[in-house]
């Protein structure tokens, strides 16, 4: 397809304009589409930062549908997957007037496992317990669902304890030896993906497939000549998590539960396995009790005192493994439990022994611990994966560059030879927004910082009648803010952790005078266009917590290489996080609002210029009255 033809597709009077009521030609969208077309034709990798409002999804879909024989598109979340597959992709195909075989593929835990449903349906404790109603709903749905996608069943909450019982994991899936393999929803979805021209996946599933670490099915995704990574800013952290090795107390307890269930299928197995199962349960309970009083997260040194309990758990797992080996040939379920016991014992042993090239760290919530070995270097394994995948890679996001440079992203991923492109925002930030940096605030480390910020911004939020997001860098500050606002204002507060994100957003949109208080999960992936959101307040520059074990190790490694770690590691990470938070304010051309950043360091520290240079061109105001006048003027225009 020629450049002129792409211009026709994205220009006035195009099919897109007829299909999308509010479509308007955007120069950046066409530039991005042309760059992707050139990358595909030249087989050259491309990294694109496309600001919010660019229309990046259609900008990559149209040239890919026209030029790629087979394509894989990876997104950051399940919601984005569904939106891309069910809304954007059909629209793009209709605009082009072509047909392609497409498939949506999620991780196995998103599909009903008929075998595990049947297994646990025989457990009276589950049928009559706390999850009885949910289990009954799942059983009824299972009789008529065609896809087995758990997202279909919205009457059972995503946090219900029934889902782990009726879905599978890499650890407990029986693969081709499952008695219900011919009816397996995962198998059906993967077969559709293998024959499709375009497959929509998520980042975790993509990495699992590229590394060929899925078991029981072989390679899941078809060979592709183009890989599109949307929300690519998530890739470094996703890759680091994926290349980690780990185990958790939950996995151990799940193993004992599944082993006990499997005993019902084999004569005499319970007599052999009862004592070692009880031994593992006792050992993991003792380890969890030891973790109760330990920190929520940290490096191995902080939990060195737990080594005796962890070694006892290793010994108990080894004894269960030996017992399972005596009965494993009686059923595939028992054989699979043997494999899991062996894997957990080896992973736990590896963690206790340590590895020079990996960070040993833990997370812990009321004793429910998770132990992890994470590699510092992800560039090398990513290069190896890409070398095994002869495809053109397109990576795009609204937040990839720091002060216009991509080095922080490309170096970390080992992208030595790729094209780079920045698509500026199509929004008129100077007209649509005001940036207010409150004066005379205490330093962020001060215990009075949160209250001082709230005292200054409350008149602004009253002027906007709520319609505000307060984004915090810590849950502690969020909780302090909630207490102060409830005591001093009459806003309808929607507070993270008091309800699910979906419920909080629904309330924010439906209840007048609402203010939403959120931490990390609300800094990105939240879309509230229009007048419903008119003020966004960010309490501090989002530097990662200094006690984060991965950050500590990354800083140490950078320092050993002779780098200034604060400049090469901490600032870029914080800049990209700030850009995500700022991106919540303006979602479309008609939006307007005030951005407040309550961290004096953005003005008093030399590095503050890097943050300001990385943000959209917002008109700065010196006083709150100017911000309030701006809002009143905008509300008046909207009413008129």
Residues 6+ apart with CB under 8 A from 155: 137
Q: Between helices 56-67 and 89-96, what is the axis angle to 10°?
A: 50
Are 27 and 59 within 8 A, CB to CB? no
In a domain? residue 189: no
Taking 70 as the threshold, does the pLDDT of residue 2 lie above it? no
The predicted-structure confidence for 279-290, as pLDDT tens digits, reads as follows 999 999 999 999
Selection from 358, 43, 84, 386 nearest residue 225 by Cα: 43
Mean pLDDT along residues 303-321: 97
CA distance 411 to 626: 42
User: Which helix H or strand E contains 108, and what residues bound it?
Assistant: none
The predicted-structure confidence for 528-578, as pLDDT tens digits, reads as follows 988 999 999 999 999 988 778 888 888 888 898 899 999 999 999 999 999
Are 568 and 402 within 8 A, CB to CB? no
DSSP SS3 for 394: strand
Selection from 468, 407, 71, 117 nearest residue 236 by Cα: 407
For the chain, the residue count is 640
User: Which helix H or strand E contains 31, and what residues bound it?
Assistant: helix 27-42
In a domain? residue 188: no
Tokens for 522, please give them: 């609300």
The predicted-structure confidence for 608-635, as pLDDT tens digits, reads as follows 999 999 999 999 999 999 999 999 999 8
Taking 90 as the threshold, does the pLDDT of residue 302 lie above it? yes
Least confidently predicted of 137-151, 219-233, 263-277: 219-233
In a domain? residue 548: yes
- CATH number of the domain bearing residue 365: 1.20.1440
Q: For strand 535-538 and strand 468-471, is the pairing parallel, antiparallel, or unpaired?
A: parallel
Phi/psi for 265 (5° steps) reads -100, -5
What is the strand order of the sheet 71-75 is part of? 102-104, 198-202, 71-75, 226-229, 392-397, 46-50, 419-423
Q: Which residues are registered as beta bridge partners of 369?
A: 364
Query: How far is residue 133 CA from its own chain's centroid?
Result: 30
Selection from 620, 594, 625 nearest residue 470 by Cα: 594
Do 548 and 465 sit in the same domain of this protein? yes
Residue 304 is predicted with a pLDDT of 95
Residues 6+ apart with CB under 8 A from 230: 56, 57, 60, 73, 74, 75, 76, 80, 84, 396, 397
pTM attached to this predicted model: 0.85
Do 135 and 217 sit in the same domain of this protein? no
Q: For strand 535-538 and strand 419-423, is the pairing parallel, antiparallel, or unpaired?
A: unpaired
The predicted-structure confidence for 43-93, as pLDDT tens digits, reads as follows 999 999 999 989 999 999 999 999 999 999 999 888 889 889 999 999 999
Selection from 448, 390, 401 nearest residue 423 by Cα: 401
- Sign of CA pseudo-dihedral 263, 269, 274, 280: negative
In a domain? residue 206: yes
In a domain? residue 415: yes
Residue 639 is predicted with a pLDDT of 66
Do 530 and 510 sit in the same domain of this protein? yes
In a domain? residue 444: yes
Residues 6+ apart with CB under 8 A from 122: 261, 264
Residues 6+ apart with CB under 8 A from 191: none
- CATH number of the domain bearing residue 448: 3.40.50.300
Do 203 and 62 sit in the same domain of this protein? yes
DSSP SS3 for 306: helix
Do 514 and 589 sit in the same domain of this protein? yes
Are 70 and 77 within 8 A, CB to CB? no
Residue 183 gets which letter from DSSP? G
CA distance 600 to 445: 11
CA distance 597 to 623: 13
Are 613 and 552 within 8 A, CB to CB? no
The predicted-structure confidence for 206-240, as pLDDT tens digits, reads as follows 887 776 543 334 456 767 899 999 999 999 888 88
Do 204 and 252 sit in the same domain of this protein? no
Do 91 and 213 sit in the same domain of this protein? yes
Angle at 7 between CA 35 and CA 20, to 5 degrees: 105
Residue-range definition of the domain harbouring residue 348: 245-375
Are 333 and 262 within 8 A, CB to CB? yes
Are 333 and 255 within 8 A, CB to CB? no
Residue 211 is predicted with a pLDDT of 62
Residue 494 is predicted with a pLDDT of 96
Radius of gyration of the chain (CA): 26
Are 394 and 34 within 8 A, CB to CB? no
In a domain? residue 187: no
Taking 60 as the threshold, does the pLDDT of residue 42 lie above it? yes
Do 370 and 401 sit in the same domain of this protein? no
Do 465 and 572 sit in the same domain of this protein? yes
In a domain? residue 190: no
Query: How far is residue 206 CA from its own chain's centroid?
Result: 13
Taking 60 as the threshold, does the pLDDT of residue 387 lie above it? yes
Query: How far is residue 148 CA from its own chain's centroid?
Result: 22
Do 263 and 156 sit in the same domain of this protein? no
Residues 6+ apart with CB under 8 A from 234: 76, 203, 397
Q: Between helices 56-67 and 3-10, what is the axis angle to 10°?
A: 140
Do 266 and 338 sit in the same domain of this protein? yes
CA distance 425 to 401: 13
The predicted-structure confidence for 470-529, as pLDDT tens digits, reads as follows 999 999 999 999 999 999 999 999 999 898 888 899 999 999 999 999 998 899 888 898
CA distance 65 to 87: 15
pLDDT, averaged across the chain = 90
pLDDT-derived band at 21, boundaries 50, 70, 90: low
CA distance 407 to 436: 30
Tokens for 155, please give them: 């009457």
Structural domain tally of the chain? 4
* Residue at which a domain ends, from 182, 211, 229: 182
The predicted-structure confidence for 434-459, as pLDDT tens digits, reads as follows 999 999 999 999 999 999 999 999 99
Residue 129 is predicted with a pLDDT of 66
CA distance readout (Å), 248 to 202, 208, 253, 283, 344: 23, 19, 9, 13, 9
Do 485 and 590 sit in the same domain of this protein? yes
Name residue, tokens 């208080």. Answer: 517
């Amino acid at each position: 397809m020629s450049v002129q033809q792409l211009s026709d597709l994205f220009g006035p009077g195009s099919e897109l304009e007829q299909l999308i009521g509010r479509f308007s030609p955007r120069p950046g969208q066409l530039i991005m589409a042309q760059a992707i077309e050139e990358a595909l034709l030249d087989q050259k990798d491309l990294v694109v930062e496309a600001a919010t409002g660019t229309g990046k999804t259609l900008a990559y879909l149209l040239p890919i549908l026209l030029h790629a024989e087979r394509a894989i598109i990876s997104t950051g979340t399940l919601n984005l997957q569904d939106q891309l597959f069910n809304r954007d992709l059909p629209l793009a195909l209709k605009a082009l007037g072509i047909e392609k075989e497409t498939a949506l593929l999620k991780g196995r835990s998103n599909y009903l496992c008929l075998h595990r449903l049947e297994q646990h349906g025989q457990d009276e404790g589950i049928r009559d317990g706390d999850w009885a109603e949910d289990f009954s709903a799942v059983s009824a749905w299972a009789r008529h669902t065609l896809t087995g996608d758990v997202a279909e069943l919205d009457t059972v909450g995503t946090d219900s304890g029934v889902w782990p019982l009726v879905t599978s994991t890499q650890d407990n899936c029986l693969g081709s030896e499952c008695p219900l393999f011919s009816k397996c929803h995962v198998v059906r979805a993967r077969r559709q993906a293998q024959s499709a021209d375009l497959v929509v996946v998520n980042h975790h599933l993509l990495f699992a497939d590229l590394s060929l670490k899925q078991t029981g099915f072989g390679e899941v995704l078809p060979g592709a000549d183009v890989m599109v990574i949307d929300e690519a800013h998530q890739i470094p952290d996703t890759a680091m998590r994926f290349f980690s090795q780990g185990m958790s107390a939950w996995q151990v307890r799940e193993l004992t539960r599944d082993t006990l269930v499997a005993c019902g299928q084999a004569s005499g197995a319970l007599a052999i396995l009862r004592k070692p199962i009880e031994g593992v349960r006792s050992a993991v309970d003792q380890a969890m009790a030891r973790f109760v009083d330990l920190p929520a997260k940290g490096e191995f040194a902080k939990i060195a005192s737990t080594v005796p309990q962890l070694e006892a758990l290793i010994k108990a797992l080894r004894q269960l493994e030996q017992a399972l080996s005596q009965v494993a040939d009686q059923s595939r379920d028992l054989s699979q439990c043997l494999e899991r016991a062996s894997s957990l014992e080896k992973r736990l042993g590896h963690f206790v022994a340590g590895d020079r090239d990996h960070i040993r760290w833990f997370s812990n919530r009321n004793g429910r611990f998770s132990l992890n070995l994470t590699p510092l270097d992800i560039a090398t394994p990513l290069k190896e994966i890409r070398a095994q995948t002869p495809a053109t890679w397109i990576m795009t996001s609204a937040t990839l560059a720091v002060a216009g440079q991509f080095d922080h992203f490309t170096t970390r991923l080992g992208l030595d030879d790729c094209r780079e492109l920045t698509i500026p925002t199509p929004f008129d930030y100077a007209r649509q927004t005001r940036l207010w940096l409150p004066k005379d605030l205490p330093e962020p480390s001060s215990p009075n910082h949160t209250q001082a910020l709230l005292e200054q911004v409350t008149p602004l939020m009253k002027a906007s009648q709520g319609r505000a997001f307060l984004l915090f860098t810590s849950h502690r500050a969020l909780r302090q803010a909630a207490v102060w606002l409830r005591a001093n204002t009459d806003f309808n507060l929607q507070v993270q952790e008091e309800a699910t994100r979906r419920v909080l957003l629904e309330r924010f949109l439906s209840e007048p005078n609402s203010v939403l208080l959120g931490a990390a999960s609300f800094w990105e992936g939240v879309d509230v266009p229009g007048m419903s959101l008119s003020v966004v307040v960010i309490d501090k520059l989002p530097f990662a917590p200094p006690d984060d074990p991965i950050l500590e190790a990354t800083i140490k490694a950078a320092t050993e290489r002779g780098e200034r770690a604060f400049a090469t590691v901490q600032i870029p990470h914080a800049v990209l996080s700030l850009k995500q938070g700022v991106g919540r304010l303006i979602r479309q051309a008609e939006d307007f609002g005030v951005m407040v950043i309550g961290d004096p360091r953005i003005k008093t520290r030399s590095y503050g210029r890097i943050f300001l240079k990385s943000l959209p061109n917002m008109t700065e105001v010196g006083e709150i009255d100017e911000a309030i006048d701006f809002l009143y003027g905008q509300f008046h225009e909207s009413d008129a």
